[in-house]
Amino acid sequence: MVLNRKVLVTGAAGFIGFHLSKKLCALGYSVLGYDNLNNYYDVTLKKSRLALLQGQDSFEFVQDDLTDRKAINDLFKNNSIEYVVNLAAQAGVRYSITNPHAYLESNLHGFLNILEACRHNGVKHLVYASSSSVYGANKKMPFSVHQNVDHPLSLYAASKKSNELMAHTYSALYNLPTTGLRFFTVYGPYGRPDMALFIFTKAILEGKSIDIYNYGKMKRDFTFVDDIVEGITRLIPTIPTPNEQWTGLNPDPASSFAPYRIFNIGNNQPVQLMEFVEAIENKLGVKAIKNLLPLQDGDVPETYADVEELMKAIDFKPSTSIKEGIDKFIDWYKEYYKIK
């Protein structure tokens, strides 16, 4: 049990932020949640998550925006924050193609404000969300943190790669320990309505068709949210140290001469999209009406996480099966939306 160590969780009303905050409170951390409650998707869902968190004594919530530098500076000045988990971001690969400016504001400007505040306020460890999308045009499977990731296919991916570069700069210049986490297709109860599982479940129950991209020839390393949260909670006190073997003659992208690390958090078991849909159909007892379409701009045909470095660091790897995870999501969905 951790006694009253203060953690700032940005994006606390978001999908992963909600589950993480709940777990940290249960572990005895004092959690300061921060979120702007924007309307990228249904704000009611965000408020429902928040209502569950605000019932806990060790949770405090502040509504404001990461891009407000004064608000962030005041937040750090008025609280003794030891750890920061930055999950607040403008999410979504496809949305970044039509709304590029939103990504630079939140994911770059907002992240810079966090880095500056951590630097000036003695934060022990900054953990931040990156994304499997940074692998972009890479084809070698499984995706390894030791691979070069300089060919993103969406502005969202580019913004996440930029976060990793910005974090490294602050680790190198100011000795700020930073850990970047490349999440692989996270799903589960209280998930985002713009994600495939939510969209498919809703459409199938309503008797509507679902869009299946790349004619179903897609593989995703679907990762259950509880596994993501377990990985984050173990990594918070696992403060990175410089890699003494690191050399600029043969640089390892996953570590550094500075206190900087990158990890994949994925299920390490890619699933065919059609198998994923079948698991939803089986749980619902309804066949989906499938609309087969070509691959969308910004999408990649396959994701697959190499989690060897994660296992070495925290002796943990995600393991929740697709069937178990989908069943838990659909049970939640039916209860939340009062569907018989």
Which residues are tagged catalytic? 156
- Cβ(90)–Cβ(103) below 8 Å: yes
Alpha-carbon distance values, 155 to 91, 92, 169, 180, 185 (Å): 11, 10, 21, 18, 17
- Cβ(224)–Cβ(188) below 8 Å: yes
Tell me the two tokens of residue 144.
């390894």
- Cβ(107)–Cβ(90) below 8 Å: yes
Question: What is d(CA 155, CA 335) in angstroms, rounded to the nearest whole number?
Answer: 36
Is residue 290 helix, strand or coil? strand
Residue 70: φ, ψ to 5°: -65, -45
Question: What is d(CA 46, CA 35) in angstroms, rounded to the nearest whole number?
Answer: 10
Question: What is d(CA 200, CA 222) in angstroms, rounded to the nearest whole number?
Answer: 15
Beta bridge partners of 193: none
Residue 162: φ, ψ to 5°: -60, -40
Beta strands 260-265 and 178-183 are parallel
The alpha helices in the chain, defined as continuous H runs, are 15-26, 43-53, 69-77, 93-98, 100-103, 110-120, 155-174, 196-205, 225-235, 273-284, 308-314, 322-336
Q: Quick one: how far is CA 180 from the chain centroid?
A: 10
Tell me the two tokens of residue 257.
């001469």
Q: Which residue has the tokens 């299946």?
A: 212
